[in-house]
């Protein structure tokens, strides 16, 4: 594993800086299933579905012969393939950095837009269920179709975001963290340590109602958010901050504050204090000011909208939106799905389709693999 980590260091990877030469057709490993190609859609591929088991009929298995110099990986890993330029990069990362060095049991799911359409998006649900079974998934960036994409690909429906589907099934929290590189200057020079930001990707301004339900009910998602945040902070041995605007949204944001405090006192205070870390609630405006003047080194739990906005601010402040990891962690800390925080890089893929040379940052996709393998 040390050998693999050495190969995956940013300054040891020529793939991160080198131009990706145009590929007239994707080079697919012989271990993959046969490819079906739609002649009307140049350079767009999806894998034929083949039963892995009765539980996951849209999965396939990658089988790799053992080699004496490969590191044997004992636990299965769920791989979720994606779309456009990131799919091209994904194949190159696997061929150059992953499979030559690791003997892996891969549970493969093709989440490319054409295969999602062909399976009525069942492949997305099955991939998330497999992630729950095997506790780790590594995902390539995927398309969330709009009207233009439906027309472009001839889709049967405007399918939901696969990330949203997976997130709802895993019932976890999205955590994003910058990838620090010494040779990339930081726009906020005072940030010496990374800041891991957790986003409660549910409800908030998009769906919230500021009211109190006095009878019995469930707040499972909020408790899951609190547990996931505590789990992440404890695992990193870093302080945890929750930011809300409970002075204005006294009921809605107030419940976030109260639930985090309850979860911390009941399950985490003693563990945190044993490692000299802590939990603290702050108002969002105070927290933003603190973040700008701090040196980093903590986990920041945000509500939906706050996390959406502040994660991009952090990414750019640390140097680049393309240097950001993203993991979805379940509330019990057992299941993790890792991916790049960026999209499918459509603009580069259009050039690639025309046979033109492109230069695409692959660091975040590589780190998706390292984060997933680390958790496994």
Which residues are part of a known binding site for NADP(+)? Answer: 142-144, 149, 293, 343-348, 361
Q: Indicate the annotated binding residues for D-threo-isocitrate.
A: 144, 161-167, 176, 199
Residue 77's nearest CA partner among 92, 96, 67, 64 is 64
Angle at 228 between CA 141 and CA 289, to 5 degrees: 85
Q: Indicate the annotated binding residues.
A: 142-144, 149, 161-167, 176, 199, 285, 293, 308, 343-348, 361
Q: Indicate the annotated binding residues for Mn(2+).
A: 285, 308
């Amino acid at each position: 594993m040390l050998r693999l980590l050495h190969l995956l260091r940013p300054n040891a990877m020529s793939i991160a800086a080198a131009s990706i030469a145009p590929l007239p057709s994707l080079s697919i490993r012989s271990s993959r299933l046969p490819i079906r190609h739609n002649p009307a859609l140049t350079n767009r591929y999806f894998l034929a579905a083949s039963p892995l088991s009765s539980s996951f009929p849209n999965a396939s298995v990658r089988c790799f012969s053992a080699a004496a110099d490969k590191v044997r990986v004992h636990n299965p890993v769920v791989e979720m393939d994606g779309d456009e330029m990131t799919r091209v990069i994904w194949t190159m990362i696997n061929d150059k950095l992953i499979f030559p060095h690791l003997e892996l049991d891969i549970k493969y799911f093709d989440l490319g837009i054409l295969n999602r359409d062909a399976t009525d998006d069942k492949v997305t649900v099955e991939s998330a269920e497999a992630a729950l079974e095997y506790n780790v998934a590594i995902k390539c960036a995927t398309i969330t179709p709009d009207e233009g994409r439906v027309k472009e690909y001839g889709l049967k429906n405007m399918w939901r975001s696969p990330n949203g589907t997976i997130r709802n099934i895993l019932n976890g929290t999205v955590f994003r963290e910058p990838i620090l590189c010494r040779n990339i200057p930081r726009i906020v020079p005072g940030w010496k340590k990374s800041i891991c930001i957790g986003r409660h990707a549910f409800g908030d301004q998009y769906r919230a109602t500021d009211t109190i339900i006095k009878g019995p009910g469930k707040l499972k998602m909020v408790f899951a958010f609190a547990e996931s945040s505590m789990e992440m902070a404890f695992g990193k041995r870093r302080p945890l901050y929750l930011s809300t605007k409970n002075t204005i949204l006294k009921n809605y944001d107030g419940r976030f504050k109260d639930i985090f405090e309850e979860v911390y006192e009941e399950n985490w205070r003693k563990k945190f204090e044993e490692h000299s870390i802590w939990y603290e609630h702050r108002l969002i405006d105070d927290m933003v000011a603190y973040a700008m003047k701090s040196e980093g080194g903590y986990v920041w739990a945000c509500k939906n909208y706050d996390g959406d906005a502040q994660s991009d601010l952090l990414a750019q402040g640390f140097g680049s939106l393309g240097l950001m990891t993203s993991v979805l962690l379940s509330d019990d800390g057992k299941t993790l799905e890792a991916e790049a925080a960026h999209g499918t890089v459509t603009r580069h893929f259009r050039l690639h389709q025309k046979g033109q040379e492109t230069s695409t940052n692959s660091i975040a996709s590589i780190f998706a693999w390292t984060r997933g393998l680390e958790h496994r």
